[in-house]
Structure 1
Amino acid sequence: MATSRTVPNLAFRRLRGQRSPGEFAAAVRRAAREIGEQVACDARYIGRVESGEIRCPNYAYERVFLHMFPGLSLTDLGFAAREQVRGRAARAAAAHPPAPDTDTTIRNDEESDVLRRAFMTSGTATVAAASLGLGGIVPAPRAGGRYGETEVGAVEEAVRRIRLLDDRHGADRLYRTAAEPLRTAYALLDAGTAVRQSTADRMHAGAGELALSVGWLAHDSGRPEDARSHYAEALATARVAGDHALEAHAFSNASFLARDAGRYREAVRAAQAGQRAARHLSSPRLLALLSLREAGGRAGLGDRAGCEEALGRAHTLFGRGPGGADPEWMSFFGEPELEALEAQCWSALGDWARAARHAHRATVLQDPHFTRNLALYRAQLATDLARAGAPEEAASAGGRVLDLLDQVQSSRIRALLDETVRLLAPYPAGDAVSAFVARHAALGAR
Structure 2
Amino acid sequence: MDAVPNHVLTAWMKEQGYSSRELADRINRVVGELTGKPGGLDDSSIRAWRSGRVRCPKSAQRAALELVSGRTALALGFVRRTRTKDEEQPVDRRTFITAAATTAFTGGPAAGTAGPRRVGMADVALVQQRFSDIIASDHLHGGQLRIEMHAATLADETLALQRAGTASQRVRASLYAAAASFRSSAMWAAIDGRRFGDASNHMREAQVLAELSGDPAIKFRIWSHAGTMYRHMGRPVEAAAANDVARGLGLARRDPMFASLGLARHAAIYASAGDRSSVRRSFGHAREAMNRADPGEVRPVWLTAFYDAAEIDSLALSAYSLLGDWATAEAHGHRCLAGLRTHMVRSKAITTVRLARAQLEQREVESAVVTAKSVPADAAAGHPRVAVMLDAFGSRLDLIAPESGPADEWRAHMVRVKV
TM-score normalised to structure 1 length = 0.67
Q: Distance in 2 between matches of 1:278 and 1:230?
A: 24
Q: 1:349 aligns with which of 323, 337, 342?
A: 323
Tell me which residue corresponds to 2:387: 414
Tell me which residue corresponds to 1:99: 33
Q: Distance in 2 between matches of 1:310 and 1:365?
A: 21
Q: Distance in 2 between matches of 1:249 and 1:277?
A: 11
Q: Distance in 1 between matches of 2:209 and 2:153?
A: 18
Q: Distance in 2 between matches of 1:369 and 1:205?
A: 25
Tell me which residue corresponds to 1:359: 333
- The 1:327/1:348 distance shift into structure 2, 3 A limit, reads same
| Displacement after TM superposition at 1:156 (Å) | 1.8
Deviates more, 1:274-283 or 1:244-253: 274-283
| Displacement after TM superposition at 1:407 (Å) | 9.0
Matches within 5 A, 1:44-443: 97-99=31-33, 110=43, 138-139=105-106, 142=109, 148-149=119-120, 151-172=123-144, 173-189=146-162, 191=163, 194-279=166-251, 282-321=254-293, 322-330=295-303, 331-401=305-375, 403-405=376-378, 409-428=382-401, 429-443=403-417
Tell me which residue corresponds to 2:85: none
| Displacement after TM superposition at 1:332 (Å) | 0.9
Structure 1 contact 244–281 (Cα < 8 Å) conserved:
no
| Displacement after TM superposition at 1:382 (Å) | 1.4
- The 1:126/1:371 distance shift into structure 2, 3 A limit, reads farther
Q: Which amino acid aligns with 1:411?
A: P
- The 1:147/1:386 distance shift into structure 2, 3 A limit, reads farther
Matches within 5 A, 1:13-52: none
| Displacement after TM superposition at 1:420 (Å) | 0.7
Q: Which amino acid aligns with 1:299?
A: A
Question: Which secondary structure does the structure 1 equivalent of 2:240 belong to?
Answer: helix
Q: Distance in 2 between matches of 1:106 and 1:335?
A: 43
Question: Which secondary structure does the structure 2 equivalent of 1:443 belong to?
Answer: helix
Structure 1 contact 168–371 (Cα < 8 Å) conserved:
yes
Q: Distance in 2 between matches of 1:426 and 1:406?
A: 24
Q: Deviation string for 1:381-413 (max 9, x for gaps)?
A: 112222233222221111001x34269832111
Structure 2 contact 350–386 (Cα < 8 Å) conserved:
yes
Deviates more, 1:435-444 or 1:345-354: 435-444
Structure 1 contact 392–430 (Cα < 8 Å) conserved:
no
Structure 1 contact 148–195 (Cα < 8 Å) conserved:
yes
5+ residue gaps in structure 1? 1-57, 61-85, 119-124, 131-135
Q: Distance in 2 between matches of 1:126 and 1:407?
A: 32
Q: Distance in 2 between matches of 1:379 and 1:327?
A: 29
Number of aligned positions between the proteins: 341
Question: Which secondary structure does the structure 2 equivalent of 1:297 belong to?
Answer: helix
- The 1:314/1:106 distance shift into structure 2, 3 A limit, reads farther
Q: Distance in 2 between matches of 1:407 and 1:418?
A: 10
Question: Which secondary structure does the structure 1 equivalent of 2:249 belong to?
Answer: helix
- The 1:179/1:392 distance shift into structure 2, 3 A limit, reads same
Q: Distance in 2 between matches of 1:378 and 1:440?
A: 16
Q: Which amino acid aligns with 1:267?
A: A
Structure 1 contact 218–224 (Cα < 8 Å) conserved:
yes
Q: Deviation string for 1:9-39 (max 9, x for gaps)?
A: xxxxxxxxxxxxxxxxxxxxxxxxxxxxxxx
Deviates more, 1:337-346 or 1:233-242: 233-242
Q: Deviation string for 1:34-78 (max 9, x for gaps)?
A: xxxxxxxxxxxxxxxxxxxxxxxx999xxxxxxxxxxxxxxxxxx
Q: Distance in 1 between matches of 2:274 and 2:332?
A: 19
Question: Which secondary structure does the structure 2 equivalent of 1:170 belong to?
Answer: coil
| Displacement after TM superposition at 1:266 (Å) | 1.1
Q: Distance in 2 between matches of 1:400 and 1:316?
A: 33
Q: Distance in 1 between matches of 2:36 and 2:350?
A: 41
Tell me which residue corresponds to 2:82: none
Q: Which amino acid aligns with 1:198?
A: R
| Displacement after TM superposition at 1:199 (Å) | 0.5
Percent identity over the alignment is 24
Q: Distance in 2 between matches of 1:114 and 1:384?
A: 44
- The 1:375/1:278 distance shift into structure 2, 3 A limit, reads farther
Q: Distance in 1 between matches of 2:220 and 2:38?
A: 30
- The 1:250/1:198 distance shift into structure 2, 3 A limit, reads same
Question: Which secondary structure does the structure 2 equivalent of 1:262 belong to?
Answer: coil
| Displacement after TM superposition at 1:368 (Å) | 4.0
Q: Distance in 2 between matches of 1:332 and 1:358?
A: 17
Q: Deviation string for 1:106-145 (max 9, x for gaps)?
A: 76x547x979x99xxxxxx989xx9xxxxx9833555577
Question: Which secondary structure does the structure 2 equivalent of 1:139 belong to?
Answer: coil
Tell me which residue corresponds to 1:41: none
Q: Which amino acid aligns with 1:195?
A: A
Structure 1 contact 283–326 (Cα < 8 Å) conserved:
no
Structure 1 contact 371–404 (Cα < 8 Å) conserved:
no
| Displacement after TM superposition at 1:355 (Å) | 0.9
Q: Which amino acid aligns with 1:413?
A: V
TM-score normalised to structure 2 length = 0.71
Q: Which amino acid aligns with 1:161?
A: D
Structure 2 contact 159–175 (Cα < 8 Å) conserved:
no
- The 1:397/1:114 distance shift into structure 2, 3 A limit, reads farther
Q: Distance in 1 between matches of 2:381 and 2:300?
A: 26
